[in-house]
Amino acid sequence: MAASPPSARILPATSSTDASAVRDRYSIPISSAPASTVEQEGSSVKIAHFSDIHITANSSAIPWRAMLSKRIVGWLNLQLLGRKGDFREAASITSALVEDLRELQADHILFTGDLSGLALDSEFEEAHRLLEPLLGSDRITGLPGNHDFYVPAAARAGTYDRLFGVWEKSDLAEPPPIVRLLGDDVALIALRDSRPNAFHDSSGLVGADQLGRLEKTLADPALEGRRKLLALHYGPRRSSGEPDGRLHGLRDAEALLSIAHEGGIELVLHGHLHNRFVLPAGDGTPITIANPGSATHSRYERAYHIIETGAEGIELSARRYDPDAGAFAPWEDAPGSGALPPPA
């Protein structure tokens, strides 16, 4: 059953007591064995994963009324901390990305958040224009990031959901989580973990309700025998293998990893952190974690990932932007590419 989520589906923050209870309940050692290892004989599935394009309005064109909020923090980042230059080419690179994705002809496309810079309607509309060739496809799953709900007013207005809610179709009834059954052998499971935050806070939260739903979904007979991949905006680990900071990372990362590990998730896909990395299972995480980084940030690789599943496991490769060619090209020997290890 397809479902386009209304803005009311933005999940409220779970109380610290509830979050602690969930974390304690599902805390397991990283070295514990996963629920199962899937042995497959079916055909392969190719997924293209990009994130954090950050289409950002010209700071001089931002309405002054919109600045009477947390957006003033974002504006200062643009003006004083160099972020304005970091995404100066975001629109043209996104156009090149869309063209590359169309030529790639992946079985499915995954986007893990932060279409916008300040959650302005003008940014969402520009992102919609740039991504329009992909919007009509049934083969794409997309999630909002924290910048897409940068302020409560943006969440209430529902512009993101109106323009991009079509990306949250689910093949199982009553999401969350979103579940896409890809081919005969793969289940892509996606969670919303972004919400409006206070001025000083950029953290995410899955929440006790979604964690409980995820646990039940992973045991659903419809997923039996399929490789299970989990997608969200926030990463449960940094590239070092350490958890992200409390005010920048995923508040309930440990509970999420525990449920995912026990439920047979083989790969976690996320965005939020703009540096690309692949963290293999065992290096501070029970499940391999792959982050393509920002596709448009000028100080990083400007890449996206290709995940291919098959009978022998999961393989990852990358493509990155070539500024001289104005196009994306294969990134040979990208760190972390190749066959991914199974859960620890």
DSSP-assigned beta bridge partners for residue 257: none
User: What is residue 342's predicted lDDT score, i.e. its pLDDT?
Assistant: 96
Contact 239, 280 (CB under 8 A): no
Residue 14 belongs to a domain: no
DSSP E strands in 55-130: the ranges are: 108-111
Summarised one tens digit per residue, pLDDT across range 15-64 is 333 444 433 333 333 333 344 444 445 579 999 999 999 998 866 566 65
Domain count, the chain: 1
User: What is residue 15's predicted lDDT score, i.e. its pLDDT?
Assistant: 37
Contact 263, 219 (CB under 8 A): yes
User: What is residue 85's predicted lDDT score, i.e. its pLDDT?
Assistant: 77
Residue 85 belongs to a domain: yes
Residue 192 belongs to a domain: yes
State the residue range of the domain holding 283.
38-339
Where the chain has pLDDT below 50, the residues are 1-40
For residue 228, give the nearest of 287, 186, 281 by alpha carbon.
186
DSSP-assigned beta bridge partners for residue 275: none
Residue 114 belongs to a domain: yes
What is the spatial distance between Cα 170 and Cα 192, in angstroms, rounded to a whole number?
13
Summarised one tens digit per residue, pLDDT across range 229-246 is 999 999 999 999 999 999
Residue 19 belongs to a domain: no
Looking only at the bridges linking them, the beta strands covering 327-330 and 313-322 are antiparallel
Residue 145 belongs to a domain: yes
User: What is residue 59's predicted lDDT score, i.e. its pLDDT?
Assistant: 61
Residue 30 belongs to a domain: no
Read off the CATH number of the domain in which 138 is found. Answer: 3.60.21.10
- Give residue for tokens 């803005």: 7
User: What is residue 238's predicted lDDT score, i.e. its pLDDT?
Assistant: 98
Residue 33 belongs to a domain: no
